[in-house]
Structure 1
Amino acid sequence: MVSPSALDLTATEKVYMGERAATAITQEAERLGAQRVFLLVSSTLLEKTDEIDQIRKALGSKVAATYHGMPPHAPRGAVLEAAAMAREVNADLVVTVGGGSVTDAGKIVTICLKHNILTHEDMDDYRVYVNDEGEVVKPVFDGPDVRAIICPTTLSGGEFNPLSGATDEKAKLKQGYETRLMAPVTVVLDPALTVHTPEWLWLSTGVRSVDHALEALASFESNYFADGMAASALELLSEGLARVKADPQDLDARLKCQVGAWQSMVPIVGGVPMGLSHAIGHVLGGSFDVPHGYCSCVMAPAVLAFNEPVNGERQKRISRAFGRPNDPASVIVDELITSLGMPRSLTAVGVNESDHALVAENTMHDFWARTNPRTVEKAEDVLPALKLAAG
């Protein structure tokens, strides 16, 4: 019997693979007719490399303003500050060059421009939230007129997603914002740009993309197409990450990682829900300042083990993708993360047993807690997964 399914598509029109960022951005600015380009960039790339200078030189008079210094997890205040700068120069194209927080901020800036979002409180009307009945509420609003080009320097994969996260500094929660046109018009995968990314950040965000694929293959709501994308992503990422660990200058391996991260995002963007690893990860980042990639390094194997009693058959596809069909998925993933030198416990990232109750409580505010394969209905249901990850 055929189970009906559907795949949502985004509004991204073009993906460059292996082209230098300055060349690709300039070509796209010309194609889109942009005259006032707002650059939102990594401070490290701006201050310690010539990458941003090359982009600005290639764009020439089209550069209207440059913002740098976006903090981790894209706090609302910094996003609003960037949006104010873009608004002041009447930007007609946003270009981001940097990691996941820069990517997220750039996409949300386009919404701030469209809806004249000026204050912390204004953002509340546009965020995704979970109501008192446990239902995920996604506000409906018009997409941006000013689109974004995104050049990622990490492997978090947010460049392919119409969903972005920003942290409410007052509630200390990372919250989602989503509308179809918030996905960038163009993505530029430039492996040469990523050699400046610190090893820990590249590898840990690579594990984050591995986790996208893991939770897709583990989900009962996946489909043949999404499963294929996720399985291929695991193959590319497991090889690519190991090769970059061995030789940071291996640009082909870096591009494999980037394409693997892209493939890992296809199921999420297409509508396959994630599970508890992502839900807890959002809390670890927003409430405890754990780096984005480290969240998956800590939680992915634990959540696989937590879910295995209910989705063990689904997890066999994960094991096959790693070429180890007879080994438990949680063990394989644990060994991969350990081989990359990443942290493997909550304690290792500064989250202690005394914090577990707060993590569990905040997790229930995340929209992916309710879509975990093993039913999670209340905070107490999260605690066993946290115990498995405690270290």
Structure 2
Amino acid sequence: MTVTFEHVTLGQRVLFGAGKAAAHLSAEVGRLGAGRVMVIAGSSEAPLVEKLCAGIDVVLYYNDVAPHVPVGKAEKARAAALAHGIDLVVCVGGGSTTGLAKAIALTTHLPIIAVPTTYAGSEATNVWGLTEASRKTTGVDDHVLPVSVIYDAELTLSLPAGLSVASGLNALAHCIDSMWAPRADPINQALAAEGIRALAGGLPLIKHNPQDLAGREQALYGAYLSAVAFASAGSGMHHKICHVLGGAYNMPHAETHAVVLPHVLAYNAPFAPDAERRIAAALGTADAVAGLEALRSVLAAPTALKDHGLAEAAIPQAVELILPAIPGSNPRPVSAMELEHLLRAAYVGTTPAAPSMPRKESSHA
């Protein structure tokens, strides 16, 4: 059998090491020759940022950050960067902080150094997202890819176990979606499989002992692999669902991904047997759906969208918004009825099960 594919690897410098973030940041700022640095971080990260930035000169500390990057906040941050003559943006935090840095880079082309404190993975992708009038728009642009990423597991120690689990399952969703996303290929599938293995090993250690640095290092490593796979493979059905829910209903990013993931896996797995076997093997189980549920049980993962702000009355509208965005390459055809059934199951929090084959009349709309 002949193997044919086209793969693109994004160029990025990655520095990984516990307790080394401050030294790595100082070295990277020097390497890039930056003289006017803007640091983006939420106000809760202020003590961490003070230590992290002790070795660099910061012109502007910026903390007006919000989930899903509202357009108004993006424009305000861009204006601040221009007003202060910024030549480098450093973002410290999770996906919201990285997203705002990307919004600045999208129009200014300023370089970014990302210092993640969660497992969101946005730091390793060239994907941006902005929300306006309750609709989230995403795109791809190499200018938003951080030039450097500094990973330090010690910076994640303050992330509570519950948020660590949700954030880690968001990373796991990057891996699983990459198995059948529009540009899936043997390379990003291999990265995704290793990411699943690392996350499945690290997250239970964090749940058992939130101060377990080895578990957090594994999860951080897995999160990076998941993001690289996702950046290469593109957005599959899972991410299209979650992007719409997050933007339209202001739902928390990580928890939404954590709840939706098992339902999409159960929906697609019977129609992607090779991917299902790889996912199962990475989880160390014979069945991918059962393996994910076992992991989620150990982690006491979020289970229901109703617990995170989705109103049941919004589900029909959500179906209308999501259906056109689902890739035609999804392993299983998707109809409005099937999508609504999936969302209602995720809303209530029922345990997903692998479905029967779809009826002949089902079609992607």
The question of a shared fold, defined as TM-score above 0.5 by the shorter chain, is answered with yes
Alpha-carbon deviations, 1:155-186, whole Å to 9, x = none?
11000001121211x2x012113211321110
2:127 aligns to what?
Answer: 163
- Is the CA contact (8 Å cut-off) linking 1:301 and 1:330 kept in structure 2? yes
Amino acid at match of 1:332: G
1:388 and 2:345 matched = yes
How far off is 1:31 after superposition?
Answer: 0.5
How far off is 1:56 after superposition?
Answer: 3.3
> 1:3 aligns to what SS in structure 2?
coil
Measured in 1, the distance between the counterparts of 2:15 and 2:331 equals 32
Alpha-carbon deviations, 1:84-105, whole Å to 9, x = none?
1111111000000011010011
> 2:65 aligns to what SS in structure 1?
coil
- Is the CA contact (8 Å cut-off) linking 1:274 and 1:371 kept in structure 2? no
The 5-angstrom pairing of residues 217-366 of structure 1 reads 217-219=179-181, 222-270=184-232, 272-325=233-286, 327=287, 329-364=288-323, 366=325
> 1:372 aligns to what SS in structure 2?
coil
How far off is 1:64 after superposition?
Answer: 1.0
2:114 counterpart (150, 154, 159): 150
Amino acid at match of 1:295: T
- Is the CA contact (8 Å cut-off) linking 2:92 and 2:116 kept in structure 1? yes
- Is the CA contact (8 Å cut-off) linking 1:218 and 1:315 kept in structure 2? no
Against the structure 1 CA distance between its residues 255 and 373, is the aligned structure 2 distance closer, same or farther, given a 3 Å change threshold?
same
Against the structure 1 CA distance between its residues 166 and 309, is the aligned structure 2 distance closer, same or farther, given a 3 Å change threshold?
same
Against the structure 1 CA distance between its residues 354 and 181, is the aligned structure 2 distance closer, same or farther, given a 3 Å change threshold?
same
Measured in 2, the distance between the counterparts of 1:371 and 1:350 equals 30
Alpha-carbon deviations, 1:292-351, whole Å to 9, x = none?
1111211111111112342234212111111112x3x22221232232222212223232
2:24 aligns to what?
Answer: 24
Alpha-carbon deviations, 1:261-303, whole Å to 9, x = none?
1111222222x23322111111121112221111121111111
How far off is 1:379 after superposition?
Answer: 4.2
- Is the CA contact (8 Å cut-off) linking 2:128 and 2:141 kept in structure 1? no
Measured in 2, the distance between the counterparts of 1:71 and 1:343 equals 22
Amino acid at match of 2:118: T
| Fraction of identical pairs, as percent | 29
Amino acid at match of 1:289: N
- Is the CA contact (8 Å cut-off) linking 1:216 and 1:273 kept in structure 2? yes
Amino acid at match of 1:75: P
Report the TM-score, using the length of structure 1 for normalisation: 0.84
1:52 aligns to what?
Answer: 49
Structure 1: which 5+ residue stretches go unaligned? 114-143
How far off is 1:373 after superposition?
Answer: 1.9
Measured in 2, the distance between the counterparts of 1:342 and 1:14 equals 29
Measured in 2, the distance between the counterparts of 1:389 and 1:218 equals 21
Amino acid at match of 1:58: G
- Is the CA contact (8 Å cut-off) linking 1:235 and 1:322 kept in structure 2? yes
Alpha-carbon deviations, 1:127-149, whole Å to 9, x = none?
xxxxxxxxxxxxxxxxx2x2000
Amino acid at match of 1:201: L
Structure 2: which 5+ residue stretches go unaligned? 349-365
Amino acid at match of 1:239: G
How many residues get paired?
348
How far off is 1:78 after superposition?
Answer: 1.2
Against the structure 1 CA distance between its residues 220 and 38, is the aligned structure 2 distance closer, same or farther, given a 3 Å change threshold?
closer
Against the structure 1 CA distance between its residues 369 and 290, is the aligned structure 2 distance closer, same or farther, given a 3 Å change threshold?
farther
Alpha-carbon deviations, 1:25-50, whole Å to 9, x = none?
1110100100000111121111xxx2
1:372 counterpart (320, 323, 330): 330
2:37 aligns to what?
Answer: 37
- Is the CA contact (8 Å cut-off) linking 2:39 and 2:62 kept in structure 1? yes
2:356 aligns to what?
Answer: none
1:71 counterpart (66, 69, 79): 66
Amino acid at match of 2:331: P
Measured in 2, the distance between the counterparts of 1:85 and 1:73 equals 19
Alpha-carbon deviations, 1:335-390, whole Å to 9, x = none?
32232222212223232432211111121354x544422123x6445223213323
